[in-house]
Amino acid sequence: MSIPSLPSAKVIHVDTRGAVILSEESPETRDSRGIYLPNYIEPVSHIAVDVGGSLAKVVYFTRSPEPPSSPSLPATRVSSTANDVSSSRSISPLDDTSSTCSSSSAPSNSKHNGALTPLILDHPHHAVNSLSGIDHGLLRESFLRRKVQHFPGGSLNFERFETDNINDCVEFIQSLIERSANVNGVSIDDMRKGVKIMATGGGAHKFYELFRGELRVEVRREDEMACLIEGLKFITLIPDEAYYFSDELIQSVSHPSTASAPKAADSTVKPPLERPSPNPPAYGVTFEHHPTTQLPCLLVNIGSGVSIIKVDEDGSFERVSGTSLGGGTLWGLLSLLTPATTFDEMLAISERGDNSTVDMLVGDIYGQDYSKLGLKSTMIASTFGKVFKKGGEKKKFSAEDISKSLLYAVSNNIGQIAYMNAEKYNLDRIYFGGCFIRGHAATISTLSYAIRFWSKGTKRALFLRHEGFLGSIGAWIRNIEPEEAE
């Protein structure tokens, strides 16, 4: 069956003034917190789905005339302490437990009990005549009141599912459509007429017939790379969404204290930067409170594999590089080598590990630092270098140590490739996205430290709270209107 060409898209305009990132209770949802948009007016009845090789990400908007009862205000607490990014728990360095909502708070209710706004509400006369057993006068008054108020405010919601369990994703969307019909007092058939599935990613083609057949709604396919860039441009306008590690690290590495720094004959000569450590130093997180879309930039999207996209000042883009060694690589190898069954479990296990039992370090080769080249004894010389011993008995290595070693190996490799592309195209801002990161402190610090080191502090690694949802956000933004208005 031939795949029809992609239709032209119409970008919806979202008012992000006053946007607030909501708190969530569970660490598993740390990268999928809702975003409350108090000034967004336009009715929304479409759902975006980004289906990748490992995960399917869903974005949808639920109307909420009143603001949530306990949003995270501010969206995150700015920290100047190092400990906030070196926690032993698998949490986002953005977590603010002091503002976590209770189980009855609006964010949870908005996500699980919220409803789409059916397009039929734009036509009250048709809607009133098509419904039976309802007080038409009261219904018409409700429609008119809503029309005057323009439904101000609502939450952008985020969900993710494993692609292997794509039926769970379909069932969730089906329940959302049914719930929306019930809440708005319209028939399920009328609700389906107004709902569109904006699909992107490889699964937009692979599961096209499944979505269309099971949900019985219109399904439109959107270009994957275009959605990523559209999502990046939107999400970077949300206050406290983008963050980076502070300049304290590069300052401390570039200008070590007099006591610890080697003496130089010429006091104006700065000591060389140290190479990235297997355990990067912890340092504070800085958030962009008053963000603006800053182009050009480099987007490093880390999913099952890695795509590196150059974004020009006018928003045009080009995939300039990538690697097959990405999140799927780490997930696959750890599935083979450890008892972990989920990615979050793998990340949690890695935090208890010691990679020096698995990796061959500089000190294992030289017995000390190799100061002439700026190599500390704790530097990784060879990932998994201690596993193979010629003529010796095979040792057993813990799942924790294996997990930490592989996490460092994949993260350092991606960081190095990202830097080389940023250098090639003279780009200073490097955004990292994709579900591989998952707000994990060790991953973030490794990527950030590698960029800071190799660029000698001239380039910055930036991260996003909703890092894994760029494609689905872009698909949601790129809403397509019918070719012909009836």
254-302 per-position pLDDT tens digit: 444 433 444 444 444 344 444 445 555 555 678 888 887 788 999 999 9
Other Cβ atoms closer than 10 A to 137: 9
The reported pLDDT for the residue numbered 153 is 80
The rounded Cα 163 to chain-centroid distance in angstroms is 16
Task: State how far the Cα of 217 lies from the Cα of 83, in Å rounded to an integer.
Answer: 49
Structure tokens, 475? 């698909």
- H-helix segments, 425-484: 441-454, 470-477
For range 436-465, the mean pLDDT: 85
Q: Is the peptide bond before 256 cis (omega within 30 degrees of 0)?
A: no
The reported pLDDT for the residue numbered 5 is 43
Query: Quick check: helix, strand or coil at residue 318?
Result: strand
The rounded Cα 410 to chain-centroid distance in angstroms is 18
Whose tokens are 């061959």? That residue is: 360
Radius of gyration over every alpha carbon of the chain, rounded to an integer in angstroms: 25
In the predicted structure, residue 216 carries a pLDDT above the cut 80: yes
The reported pLDDT for the residue numbered 279 is 58
Structure tokens, 154? 């609502």
* Residue 466 vs residue 65, higher pLDDT: 466
* Residue 108 vs residue 162, higher pLDDT: 162
Query: Quick check: helix, strand or coil at residue 63?
Result: strand
For range 64-93, the mean pLDDT: 38
Task: State how far the Cα of 328 lies from the Cα of 163, in Å rounded to an integer.
Answer: 12
* Residue 83 vs residue 174, higher pLDDT: 174
For range 436-441, the mean pLDDT: 81
Domains 20-70+105-233+471-477 and 245-464 share a fold: yes
Is residue 311 within 8 A of residue 296, CB to CB? The reply is yes
The reported pLDDT for the residue numbered 463 is 93
For range 150-175, the mean pLDDT: 88
Q: Is the peptide bond before 482 cis (omega within 30 degrees of 0)?
A: no
Average pLDDT of the chain is 75
CATH number of 20-70+105-233+471-477: 3.30.420.40
Structure tokens, 447? 């990527």
Look at 56-70, 114-128, 180-194, 299-313 and tell me which has the smallest mean pLDDT: 114-128
In sequence order, the 6+-apart residues with CB closer than 8 A to the CB of 116 are 44, 45, 47, 60, 61, 62, 63, 176, 177, 180, 191, 195
- What percentage of the chain exceeds 90 in pLDDT? 36
Task: State how far the Cα of 368 lies from the Cα of 206, in Å rounded to an integer.
Answer: 54
**Residue 419: band (very low, low, confident or very high) from pLDDT cuts 50, 70, 90:** very high
In the predicted structure, residue 413 carries a pLDDT above the cut 70: yes
* Residue 466 vs residue 273, higher pLDDT: 466
In sequence order, the 6+-apart residues with CB closer than 8 A to the CB of 32 are 24, 158, 159, 160, 466, 468, 469
For range 237-264, the mean pLDDT: 59
The reported pLDDT for the residue numbered 372 is 63
**Tell me: the pLDDT tens digits for 49-70?**
999 888 899 999 987 766 555 4
The reported pLDDT for the residue numbered 248 is 53
Task: State how far the Cα of 157 lies from the Cα of 154, in Å rounded to an integer.
Answer: 10
Q: Which residues of 299-325 are buried (b: 16+ CB within 10 A; e: fewer)?
A: bbbbbbbbbbbbbeeeeebeeebbbeb
Domain positions in the chain: 20-70+105-233+471-477, 245-464
In sequence order, the 6+-apart residues with CB closer than 8 A to the CB of 301 are 228, 307, 308, 309, 433, 434, 470
**Tell me: the pLDDT tens digits for 375-384?**
777 778 898 9
Q: Which CATH entry fits the domain spanning 245-464: 3.30.420.40, 1.10.150.240, 3.30.360.10, 3.30.1280.10?
A: 3.30.420.40
**Residue 333: band (very low, low, confident or very high) from pLDDT cuts 50, 70, 90:** very high
Task: State how far the Cα of 403 lies from the Cα of 443, in Å rounded to an integer.
Answer: 12
Q: Which residues of 80-95 are buried (b: 16+ CB within 10 A; e: fewer)?
A: eeeebbbeeebbbbbb
Whose tokens are 């396919």? That residue is: 221
The reported pLDDT for the residue numbered 436 is 85
**Residue 38: band (very low, low, confident or very high) from pLDDT cuts 50, 70, 90:** confident
What secondary structure letter does DSSP report for 201?
S
